[in-house]
Amino acid sequence: MSFFMAPGQQRQGRACMVCSIVMTQDRFIKEGCPNCEDFLGLRGNREAVGDCTSQVYEGVITLAQPSKSWVAKWQRLDNYVPGTYATKVSGSLPEEIVDTMENEHRIRYIP
């Protein structure tokens, strides 16, 4: 499965506020986040997609081999799936999502 966005689709893109992958809202609803689905539960949940993704982001990086890319390491994306990622995402996750990530999944949220 490919998580790359065509340049013409980037205006309709939303970025995950946890991993910064950029996909369309419909794709987040249909497939969830390929990196964060276990704790965000975006698949099939329009409200969660609205809460946990943002239309406001800057710059994009397309990573074909994140584990081998120095840019991916520098952006802390080297353990994620190949795809298109925002360099900066604006917005804040709901407090209950942050609590679930940190307490149940032992994932430290870095906004």
Coil, strand or helix: which one is 36?
Answer: coil
Residues 50-83 have pLDDT tens digits of 999 999 999 999 999 999 999 999 988 999 999 9
Chain-centroid distance of CA 104 in Å reads: 19
Is the whole-model pTM more than 0.85?
yes
The pLDDT of residue 2 is above 80: no
Greater confidence (88 vs 109) lies with 88
pLDDT for the residue numbered 37: 94
